[in-house]
Chains A and B, each alone.
Chain A
Amino acid sequence: MALAAPAAHARAEATYRPQANRLGLWLFFLSETFLFSAMISARFVTSGTDTPEHLNQPLALGITIVLLLSSISAYLSENAIAHDDRAGFIRYTRITIFLGLVFTAGVVLEWQEALADFPAGTIYGSAFFALIGLHAFHVVTGIMALGVVLNLGGKGHYGSEDYWPVEGTVKYWHLVDLMWVVIYPSLYLF
């Protein structure tokens, strides 16, 4: 198995233990949810639902759709490896990474505009940069993790019997989308 480690003590992790791995990952998600909740509540406590005039709504909607598309391709890539479709796995993971990069580029573009319209020194700007920054950090780490599984999957790791790293990474990617489902309306729409 891919994660097999020779050290005697690493064996607990090396054995395929879907229950423990899944539970651990969900606990981590639960914890992350609290982090995002803390930051989102900071936004509402300090600036309510106020939004500035200059928000670039079309761009935000665009990157939201991009992130959604990347979630589908991530779903398809996990589904592919679960059925031993390695070519499909590689294709969809590549698409996911590409869409993730497009999303990140969108954020960079948006920040450049935002810095001029509502700098971090304004109260909406504070929430805007902190929240989107936190989210973008998760996007970037998600892209890195996808890169790792893409590389290993390309080298023949994983298969229908053993694709926990893919499953975990894809779930993390969905978490990133899940958080955006709340952040997007909190910052742009409400």
Chain B
Amino acid sequence: MRALIRAVSGGAGGYVIAAFVTSLITGGSVSDGVPVTFGYIFALLGWLHGIGVWNAWAREWFGLPPKPDNAKGWTRYFTFSTDHKVIGSQYLVTFLVVFLVGGLMAMVIRLELAGTGEGFIDADTYNKVMSMHGILMVAVAVAAVLGSFGNYLVPLMIGADDMAFPRINALSFWLIPPVAISLLSAPLLGSFEAGWTAYPPLSVVAAGDGQLLFNMGVITFGLSSILGGLNIITTVATMRAPGMTWGRLPIFVWATFSASLLSLVITQFFAASLVLIHLDRVAGTTFFGAAGGGDALLYEHMFWFYSHPAVYIMVLPGFGVALEVITHFSRKPLFAYKAVVGAFLTIVGLSSLVWAHHMFTSGMAAYLHAPFMVLTEAISVPTGVIFLSAVGTMWRGKLWMQTPMLLAGGWVFNFLIGGITGLFLADVATDVQLHDSYFVVAHFHYTIIGGSIFGLLAAVFFWFPKITGRMYNETMGKIFAVWVSVALALVFIPMFWVGVNGMNRRVNDYQQDLETANNFISWMALLLGLSFVLFAVNLVWSALRGPKAPDNPWGASTLEWQVSSPPPEHNFPLLPEVVGHPYDYGVPDAQHAVVGGSAKSED
């Protein structure tokens, strides 16, 4: 706790001092662009210094012995801990909280849209709430599975004692709270209203200087994703246990590996595009200002060059979770393992070549339409392979319908809807009609909730016993799984319909004749929101009071289930040795790994 207090005061102090000094130098007000920029940078440095970067790490650069914080018990979650399991849990709890906050904002949005006209909030506020909801949820989708389960499970699943760079790992988590704080405190500077996409010219000319905090917060978040991706790639490449060949990696590891490849490189484009927005706002450059010779389309290209592949950073880990759960609960080998791995890697390559399908109506050169349309549609092929693997694995399996499996089944169904509706958007002729309508909103909620959030939910229930050492309540879990799936359909299927009938996204008003449908959607959204109360109650109550979980409640084959729940401090008492494929269910005498049986000791 002391570290956290130091971090908060370091951050606040850094901000106040830097912003004040810069405002004295520039002679303006403390809330001008330049002081806010420097304030943020020094706040970030102060925060990191306080949380323990100095003590645990930077002291070495000056020849001083490092003083890591060796807190034990629950307080270690508030320190610069380098244990990948602690970091994974920190990510998970942080993003679940952000998810619930973003969800509350969705309730506000739906409240406003429950009727036509300006009802609950005015148009201006609506834009701000909608922008905040968007960016928070995008952050959740990008990092919730990858950051938490990626960190927690990848070392366990490959038989390593930690990540390749434990301190970089801790750093990538501790960059996240400043992001959340800066986004949520943006209203103090007038909020941001250009949506999560931050298109110029609005993001450059909008009055609210909260856009500055948005830019810097998201750039910081990008840094965290890049470092996290770098760490996972290096870990998988260099820290696998003896016998853990690439062909024996659990599919979740492949999924996080692929997502990490994407986040390592393309995130820089989002960072760069926001740097340019920031410079246009505070340094007087004119990258996107047509008057000075700039080009707003440049932003859209740079932004989508990140943000389309980013949707695969969101779903690939979700794919991994779903396939993992489906194979364990169908008690069958994963169908077409190699093809799935190939599909992951194809997606990594292809997804960075399709970005301009977001720009069919933007006025970009017309000869770009056809190639981007074709390439986008081509992505459905590898996606289809993954989908077939899920269905093929369940086919004639002994399905064990526990909560994780129910949610993985929901993933299959929902992601199918998301993927198929994507094709209508990829087709130029239909997209010209559907662009910026609620059809798009429904599409991406189906893909992101279906692909990423359902993966997250399945993962939470599947690995809950491993992480907490306690069992969640199965009845509540099952009720939740059914409830959330039904409510999701009731909210988003009508959105396709209102979209086709001409309802614009990102506007707080719509045609009179769509009022009944929207009113219905709003009530259903409330129903969807309430399902998460049950989710939260189940998790919190079970984590505190649930029955003790056995080491391997699912009888699953992969390495993380071969150690105690929760796993011991350095994961494996002895270096495990991998002797077979991870999913050989039903194969006589098959074994994935020998844990503790090998003679070679770790330390």
Contacts and interface: CB of A to CB of B under 8 A. Distances in A.
A and B directly contacting (CB within 8 A): yes
Given A13-B166, A27-B264, A30-B265, A155 B63 contact: yes
Nearest to A23: B234
Contact of B298 (A2, A46, A119, A148): A46
Interface in A84-140: 119-123, 125-127, 129-130, 134
A20 B238 contact: yes
A10 interface: yes
Interface string A1-15: 011011111101100
A40 B94 CA distance: 36
Contacts of A160: none
B161 A152 contact: no
B244 interface: no
A157 B61 CA distance: 11
A172 to B, nearest CB: 14
Given A34-B268, A130-B279, A6 B230 contact: no
Nearest to B280: A126
A57 interface: no
Of B81, B164, B237, B273, most A-chain CB atoms within 10 Å: B164
A121 B276 contact: no
Interface string A136-164: 00000000000010011001010000000
Contacts of A7: 56, 66, 68, 70, 82
B230 A24 contact: yes
A17 interface: yes
Contacts of A148: 61-62
Interface in A10-60: 10, 12-13, 17, 19-20, 23-24, 27-28, 30-32, 34-35, 38-39, 41-42, 45-47
B2 interface: no
A35 B271 CA distance: 8
Nearest to A44: B298
Interface stretch (B15-23, B172-180, B284-292, B367-375): B284-292
Contact of A129 (B273, B285, B301): B285
Of A10, A12, A121, most B-chain CB atoms within 10 Å: A12
B294 interface: yes
Nearest to B273: A38
Contacts of A46: 287, 293-295, 298
Contacts of B82: 7, 9-10
B164 A3 contact: no
B238 A19 contact: yes
A31 B293 contact: no
A134 B283 CA distance: 14
A10 B286 contact: no
Q: Is the interface of A mostly helix, strand, loop or mixed?
A: helix
Given A120-B284, A120-B285, A31 B230 contact: yes
Interface residues of A, number: 45
Q: Is the interface of B mostly helix, strand, loop or mixed?
A: helix
A35 B283 CA distance: 20
A140 B117 CA distance: 54
B414 to A, nearest CB: 32
B285 A31 contact: no
A27 B569 CA distance: 29
A38 B302 contact: yes
B269 interface: yes
A47 B106 CA distance: 41
A130 B285 contact: yes
Contact of A130 (B60, B231, B275, B295): B275
Contacts of B231: 24
A20 B160 CA distance: 13
B269 A38 contact: yes
Contacts of B83: 9
A42 B234 contact: no
Of A6, A7, A28, most B-chain CB atoms within 10 Å: A7
Contacts of A5: 56, 60, 66, 68
A44 to B, nearest CB: 10
Contacts of B284: 119-121
A126 B200 CA distance: 16
Contacts of A126: 279-280, 285-287, 292, 294
Given A5-B68, A46-B295, A12 B285 contact: no
A133 to B, nearest CB: 9
A15 to B, nearest CB: 11
A6 B273 contact: no
B237 A6 contact: no
A12 B292 contact: no
A10 B293 contact: no
A1 to B, nearest CB: 11
B266 A34 contact: yes
A131 to B, nearest CB: 11
A39 B274 CA distance: 11
Contacts of A31: 226, 230, 264-265, 267-268
Interface string B403-447: 000000000000000000000000000000000000000000000
Contacts of B162: 9, 12
A24 B65 contact: no
Given A12-B166, A23-B238, A35-B271, A3 B60 contact: yes
B398 interface: no
Given A17-B238, A46-B295, A130-B279, A27 B230 contact: yes
B163 interface: yes
Contacts of B66: 5-7, 10
A34 B266 CA distance: 7
5 contacts: A24-B230, A32-B268, A120-B283, A122-B292, A122-B293
Given A3-B60, A10-B68, 15 more contacts: A5-B68, A7-B66, A7-B68, A9-B82, A10-B167, A12-B166, A13-B165, A20-B234, A23-B238, A31-B268, A42-B272, A119-B284, A120-B286, A123-B293, A155-B63
Interface of B: 56, 60-63, 65-66, 68, 70, 81-83, 161-168, 226, 230-231, 233-234, 237-239, 264-269, 271-273, 275-276, 279-280, 283-287, 292-295, 298, 301-302, 305, 569-570
Nearest first, the 3 closest Cβ-Cβ pairs linking A and B are A38-B272, A123-B293, A126-B285
